[in-house]
Amino acid sequence: MSLPSDFLWGFATASFQIEGATKQDGRGPSIWDTFCAVPGKIAHGANGDIACDSYNRTAEDIELLKKLGSKCYRFSLSWSRIIPLGGRNDPINQKGLDHYVKFVDDLLEAGITPFITLYHWDLPDELDKRYGGLLNRTEFPLDFENYARVVFKAIPKCKNWITFNEPWCSSILAYSTGFFAPGHTSDRKKSPIGDSSREPWIAGHNLLVAHGRAVKVYREEFKPNDKGQIGITLNGDYTYPWDPEDPADVEACNRKIEFAISWFADPIYFGKYPDSMLKQLGDRLPTFTDEERGLVQGSNDFYGMNHYTADYVKHKTGTAPEDDFLGNLETMSYNKAGDCIGPETQSFWLRPNPEGFRALINWLSKRYGYPPIYVTENGTSIKGENDLPKDDILKDGFRTKYFHDYAHALADAVSKDGCNVKGYMAWSLMDNFEWAEGYETRFGCCHVDYENGQVRTPKESAKKMKPLFDSLIAKS
């Protein structure tokens, strides 16, 4: 038994990926509704209008979680379902708020601990149109603070809060590559608007300040009575040098993690951006005011960790181009000796490497003083899964092995290395809308039959999750 008796395990989802019901009960449009309507942005022209229909199937989803033995469930709220226009002076949609209040009540009644993410990429579209959304340094943090306060007040029974999911994605994929909503990029073939050299760094800064504002509100106005905790979820891969004998490749490995994770974690734990980023980006990286630093520094009760894969990293020479966001380096699946990082999946960016999971937990723990860590996402797609007959999809041995190997790597980080990991949430409870990849890529532990009423069927990986964690968690 390698994990403590109070260790929490469960599954994770996100509102836009599973809820559907995009026009039901007063919900307003999000930037993803708008983005999905742009031809060519989403595989096969898919959208989130129905998705898994989870808005109308909360009881079914809870029964599924109970059946699988899940101890906790991480899900996100749709901001535009609660405040359709998004702003602090805009009306609250009581039906939307009541939906989440009841959902939390029902989860707790079922013995499942809720983890709520306030923002999983689906900004109310009106705020993007009104003042540029995440790019507005004044308005966005204040509107997010108001939204957070509305939710904290309505759902005191939730004790685990996450402000933002993967701000790296909200910054880079939305404002540099244009791959995610609202699709800004300097590439004029993809978008008429955007500046990849500056906008992602502005968006990232404003997300940090908004996070700090929400945490201040929770700690001052709600935590004394509610006794909960709040943090942010950051994503990043582990890195190995392409040539371990080349000091420049070894250094680039660290820089890659700094550009992905420490961009957000360093200001929260140390009050400043990493030196490697300051050196490369110069004045394109915003400067914290004293007030902003006061809001951001120290604003994590726990560290939310999303992790999937690892890379070999090779440094580049010369000056980095202005649209570079990796840290003047390249990532690859094979190293100089010809070793492969891991087998292919449906996702071009994802190759299983469980050793990297343990190593990254250690990297984060050492850098940030061994904070409590919740793994808020971890999982894999399977190459060609969507093209298989349903019976074969249900036998997802590749995913089952992934979870087995990663859970054991996590247990080693705790029991052998002394890291403070308190929970693990598999991505994802069910197949869902996989953003720009539409419904082509499946990450679910449960199969969703999109053609026949969104019926959920547990795959092998779902059925084996409870015995897996039962074997690792000490009995109380």
Percentage of the chain beyond pLDDT 90 is 99
pLDDT tens-digit map of 137-165: 999 999 999 999 999 999 999 999 999 99
Which residues touch 75 (CB under 8 Å, ≥6 apart)?
12, 13, 14, 15, 103, 114, 115, 116, 117
Is residue 307 a part of any domain in this protein? yes
Of 453, 458, 459, 437, nearest to 53 (Cα)?
A: 453
pLDDT at residue 398 in the model: 98
pLDDT at residue 10 in the model: 99
371, 420 contact by CB (below 8 A):
yes
pLDDT at residue 476 in the model: 82
Instruction: Give me the amino acid identity at 383.
Output: K
pTM: 0.98
Question: How many other CB atoms are found less than 10 A from the CB of residue 439?
Answer: 18
Q: Average pLDDT, stretch 311-320?
A: 98
pLDDT band at 115 (very low <50, low <70, confident <90, very high): very high
pLDDT at residue 310 in the model: 98
pLDDT tens-digit map of 405-452: 999 999 999 999 999 999 999 999 999 999 999 999 999 999 999 999
Give me the CATH number covering residue 310. 3.20.20.80
What range does the domain containing 165 cover? 8-470
Q: Which helix (H) or strand (E) holds 200?
A: helix 199-217
Is residue 2 a part of any domain in this protein? no
325, 263 contact by CB (below 8 A):
no
Whether residue 186 has pLDDT greater than 90: yes
CA distance 431 to 119: 20
288, 296 contact by CB (below 8 A):
yes
CA distance 300 to 104: 23
Whether residue 371 has pLDDT greater than 80: yes
Whether residue 234 has pLDDT greater than 90: yes
Tokens of 399: 């995913």
Q: Average pLDDT, stretch 459-464?
A: 98
Is residue 476 a part of any domain in this protein? no
Pairing assessment for the beta strands 310-315 and 329-332 based on DSSP bridges: antiparallel
Is residue 417 a part of any domain in this protein? yes
- Give the DSSP letter string of 291-314: HHHHHHTT--SSEEEE---EEEEE
Q: Average pLDDT, stretch 311-328?
A: 98
Tokens of 208: 């940090």
- The phi-psi region of residue 385 (left if phi > 0; otherwise alpha if psi is between -120 and 50; otherwise beta) is alpha
Q: Nearest-5° angle of CA 129, CA 135, CA 140?
A: 75
Whether residue 384 has pLDDT greater than 80: yes
pLDDT band at 358 (very low <50, low <70, confident <90, very high): very high
Of 448, 322, 461, 346, nearest to 400 (Cα)?
A: 461
Total domains present in the chain: 1
Q: Average pLDDT, stretch 185-207?
A: 98
Percentage of the chain beyond pLDDT 70 is 100
pLDDT at residue 51 in the model: 98
Q: Average pLDDT, stretch 121-126?
A: 99
Tokens of 123: 């900004």
**Three-state secondary-structure class, residue 363:** helix
CA distance 114 to 99: 14
Average pLDDT of the chain is 98
Whether residue 1 has pLDDT greater than 90: no
Of 216, 296, 308, 213, nearest to 260 (Cα)?
A: 308
- What is residue 122's DSSP assignment? -
pLDDT at residue 23 in the model: 98
**Residue positions annotated with a catalytic role:** 166, 377
Q: Average pLDDT, stretch 248-252?
A: 98
Beta partners for residue 234, in sequence order: 305
Q: Average pLDDT, stretch 373-383?
A: 99
